[in-house]
Structure 1
Amino acid sequence: MTVAVVTGATQGLGLALVEGLAQRLSTQDTVYLTGRDLGRIGEAVESLPAGGATVRSELLDVADPASVTRLATVLSERHGGVDVVFGNAVMRVGPDDDPREIVGPYTDVNNFGTTRVMRAFAPLLRDGGKLLVVASSLGTLHYLAPVLHDRFDALTSLDDVDKTVANWRDAVADGSARGGAWPGFVNIPSKIGQVAAVRALASTRLAGDAERGILLAAVCPGMMNTPTSALWWDVSTAPTPATAAVPLLDLALSPTDPDHYGQLIRYGAVLPWAPG
């Protein structure tokens, strides 16, 4: 029996990933649709078409360490492990938001929430399992000033990644980031932090995961036509979340490609981490 978990799954890409997993898996399998609001979780489950895998709802607030630990414990006791994890929970930011005011909760969900999920669920992966962090093509050093590359490059633990993200968060919050080389768009360092977290964890697990066919990777779904994206760009011709989910589902349910391990993947291809 396959067990899959999607965080941030009550709308948009997360909901599309749950629906796609349910349709592709069998009636013997289970997909967990998670979110931090019981009402929205229930509505999301009810919105899905019948057939395929069983979709179960579970509370999960990635900003709450106890919530992440609780769900990991529940699924370990209930199933003995998991096969697919999509780390998709995200706090959205708009053009009118003041980075100094939102960077705290923003990083607590997008970055520290990501590393919490990785710490809790990576040990639960069964042979052939996949843990995929939904990031962005912005999550590479190409979008960061060269003077800042060493902040994220070659980090070897999730603790190191968290410290780097915390230092950036604090610089944004106190305004000092504005006088330095940091980009004003908080999404860029945040996404780089997510990919750096994948790379750091992968560096510690490579040998064992290779033997067991496990994949840790970051994934880029590309631009999507969503209300949040529309605040920043013209997305009228961009794919829907359902369409954008397809290559991510292909990656999650196909045999593991060793070349994808620890990398950022877009449309099945590796995006280079650093210039050159």
Structure 2
Amino acid sequence: MNAPRIALVTGANQGLGRALAEGLAARMAPHDLVLLTGRDAQRVTEAAHAVTRLPATRAQVRGKLLDVTDTEAIGRLADELRSQYGGVDVVISNAVARLLPSDSQSGRADEFIDVSNTATHAVLRSFGPLLRPGGRLLVVASSLGTLGHLDPRLHPLFEEASLDQVEYAVESWRSAIHHNTAQEAGWPRWLNVPSKVAQVAAVRAVAGQRRERDLASGTLIAAVCPGMVDTATSRPWFGDYSQAQSPAEAARAVLDLVFSESVDPALYGELIRFGEALDWHGGTPPVEQDRLLTP
């Protein structure tokens, strides 16, 4: 018997994360393990039990408490998986802070950045080295994650940046928000735009250091854009949900990347939407008066 494959999903209590955990559990083997993580112990336990009981579930499913804003906890979990299993095969970084259109963008900035960006950096640093040959490390972002969505003045912060440089740019943005200088520096008011660009830039930074080795072993590191998904987090932002996917529908394209037999070099390190790489330099800065953001 082959060694069990180990999969980890962050932010997996509900919505897309839950659907991804369900899909992994259905498509992996009975001796494989899916770790469904979140920061609420009761909800994590309930979700893991519910996924385990689904008729399609084949793999083992275990709930694991993980607050992604605690970067030390991310590191401890990585150490635990290294010790127990020697590595991981699938990591999907999906956690996101729920933000409503009526919320103060500046008032929620720290929480949003910690969940979406600081945690992404920690996942890449902690789990990238644990990824076994043929593995998948995917960061859930959005089509807003292309560089063209930022003011051109900000492009040098992320273009060909190392992970350290991306982290510095994110913290500079955070500081500018707190000092009320963000808009004059070119940062958009809506947190989601620079946050997603920084997520994709972080993925590109890590992938750039590993590309040759990973492609030789069939390993994929990438950002993914699931498209418009009907969830409690995203619904308040859109006026028309007629084209929205259910979480299960949105999870399929991501899971197809996980279970693909080979890695397309054109997708490696890129932002992928429905199996196609988006142009890193594409997009235009958002119109601030438009409260509805594109997925």
TM-score with structure 1 setting the length? 0.96
Is the deviation greater in 221-230 or in 261-270? 221-230
Q: Distance in 2 between matches of 1:227 and 1:91?
A: 11
Q: Is the 8 A contact 2:8 2:91 kept in 1?
A: yes
Look up the match of 2:209: 204
Q: Distance in 2 between matches of 1:65 and 1:191?
A: 19
Of the three residues 176, 191, 194, the one matched with 2:199 is: 194
1:196 to partner: Cα distance: 0.2
- The structure where helix makes up a greater share of residues is 1
Q: Distance in 2 between matches of 1:97 and 1:174?
A: 19
Q: For 2:274, give the aligned amino acid.
A: Y
Of the three residues 254, 260, 264, the one matched with 1:257 is: 264
Residue 161 of structure 1 pairs with residue 166 of structure 2: yes
Residue 27 of structure 1 pairs with residue 30 of structure 2: yes
Q: Distance in 2 between matches of 1:38 and 1:275?
A: 40
Q: Is the 8 A contact 2:38 2:65 kept in 1?
A: yes
Residue 240 of structure 1 pairs with residue 246 of structure 2: yes
1:172-199 deviation line (CA, Å, top 9, x unaligned): 1221113342211110000000000000
Look up the match of 2:288: none
Of the three residues 110, 114, 117, the one matched with 1:108 is: 114
Q: For 2:273, give the aligned amino acid.
A: R
- Tell me the matched-pair count: 275
Look up the match of 2:291: none
Of the three residues 38, 41, 58, the one matched with 1:38 is: 41
Unaligned runs of 5+ in 2: 284-295
Look up the match of 1:80: 86
Q: Is the 8 A contact 2:215 2:263 kept in 1?
A: no
Q: Distance in 2 between matches of 1:107 and 1:187?
A: 9
Of the three residues 153, 165, 186, the one matched with 1:147 is: 153
Report matched runs for 1:59-138 at 5 Å: 59-138=65-144
Taking only the aligned residue pairs, the percentage that are identical comes to 49
Q: Distance in 2 between matches of 1:230 and 1:42?
A: 26
Q: Distance in 1 between matches of 2:186 and 2:79?
A: 41
Q: Distance in 1 between matches of 2:196 and 2:187?
A: 13
Query: How much is the aligned-residue C-alpha RMSD, in angstroms?
Result: 1.3
| Secondary structure of 2:91 counterpart | strand
Q: Distance in 1 between matches of 2:265 and 2:138?
A: 14
1:217-263 deviation line (CA, Å, top 9, x unaligned): 00000011112222110353211111000000000111222211110
TM-score with structure 2 setting the length? 0.90
Query: Structure 1 segments of 4 or more deviating over 3 A?
Result: none
Pair 1:227–1:217, CA change in 2 (3 A): same
